[in-house]
Amino acid sequence: MLQDTEPALSRTPLHDLHVALGARMVPFAGYEMPVQYSGGILAEHRWTRDKAGLFDVSHMGQATIRGDGRVAALEALVPGDVVALAPGRMRYTMFTADDGGILDDIIVTNVGDYLFLVINAARKQVDLDHLGAALPASCELEELSDRALLALQGPAAATVMARLALGAEQLDFMSAAPFVVDGSPLAVTRSGYTGEDGFEISVPAADAVRIAELLLGQDEVAPVGLGARDTLRLEAGLCLYGHDINETTTPIEAGLAWTISKRRRAEGGFPGAERILREIADGPARRRVGLAPEGRAPAREHAEVVDAHGARIGTVTSGGFGPTVGAPVAMGYVDAAHAAVDTPVDILVRDKPRPTRVAQMPFVAHRYFKNPKV
């Protein structure tokens, strides 16, 4: 008799290194990924805040768009301003649907003669299919399946990069440049998903272990898994696709109006523009907010948010204990009338209301690097 079987999990080029370092591997977005190492999530979180954590993010998609009309073609799919993106600069934006929902959030880098995209692992094939169907014949889309992606995050990251790739420490936030380290050609960007200063390093898959070991050989660097990556990004108030944003949420509901420039607001011309521009003008019916529950127990995803009368006004989309904050932190969507900072609400935990207040995000201030020379 035939039996249903789960599809085999993919592995990143660093899989064997994770195992050798004592990682606990878990399924994530179709990959077998390290959730934590022997020291535990709390230690990894604190190490990243104090020094520099190395994350394997090779499960994420990397792709290029080349050819005539590539900028206009991509801009027709996103509300971000791609035309104004100078060579060597990056932009956070998203693919939107005709109803204004977010198909995925992405990072676009203008490399000069092509565009470089980083897309979410769980949406990789969806995004590639979306691009393949929409791009004109003059554009060539290529998935870079032969490259790995590392993220070095934390206040010591620039010191480490200066030691190994002199000049990388001068990159401004949301900028990119090529480097050669130990004979390997690297594409280095400076953004981050932790709220800390940090670098993303795209490296040929065949060189990934060697470059990772070179980084881990620095006193300031330790490996960090998905567990601490989640607590760090939650404290930073950053969205996780499939949780805090998805096809049912618009950029304005999600608090991402800052990604839409004045020109794009004036001209429109992107999927879902009618709804998105209306919500910019009139306000959305609900908003993503920070939530600070009282006590020590964290509020988890899917918990209901209610008002003082017990009426449902929203839902928690991400929640946990914030090690840097020293208290539970969460985010979610609530009706716009209850979205102001310090509004008292309740979160239902095991059907019991827990006093909570709407909180300002980020919970931990961002420490992105702004180069005064740029």
What was the pLDDT predicted at 374? 56
Torsion of CA 228, 231, 232, 238, to 10 degrees: 130
Q: Which sign does the torsion angle of CA 351, 300, 124, 205 carry?
A: negative
- pTM here? 0.95
Q: Which residues of the chain have pLDDT under 50?
A: 1-2
What was the pLDDT predicted at 6? 65
266 backbone dihedrals φ, ψ, rounded to 5°: -75, -40
Q: Which sign does the torsion angle of CA 109, 62, 277, 306 carry?
A: negative
What was the pLDDT predicted at 2? 47
pLDDT digit string (tens) for 102-127?
A: 999 999 999 999 999 999 999 999 99
For residues 346 and 189, what is the distance between their CA atoms, to the nearest angstrom?
A: 41
What was the pLDDT predicted at 51? 98
What was the pLDDT predicted at 7? 75
Determine how β-strand 352-359 pairs with β-strand 139-143.
Answer: unpaired
Asked if 63 and 144 touch (Cβ cutoff 8 Å), the reply is yes
Asked if 176 and 189 touch (Cβ cutoff 8 Å), the reply is yes
* Residue where the block lists tokens 């990159």: 171
Both structure tokens of 35: 């959730």
What was the pLDDT predicted at 3? 52
What was the pLDDT predicted at 5? 58
What was the pLDDT predicted at 4? 52
What are the angstrom distances between the C-alpha of 104 and each of 63, 132, 167, 204? Answer: 14, 15, 32, 25
Question: Which domains can be identified in the chain, with CATH numbers?
Answer: 9-246 (3.30.1360.120), 285-359 (2.40.30.110)
What was the pLDDT predicted at 1? 43
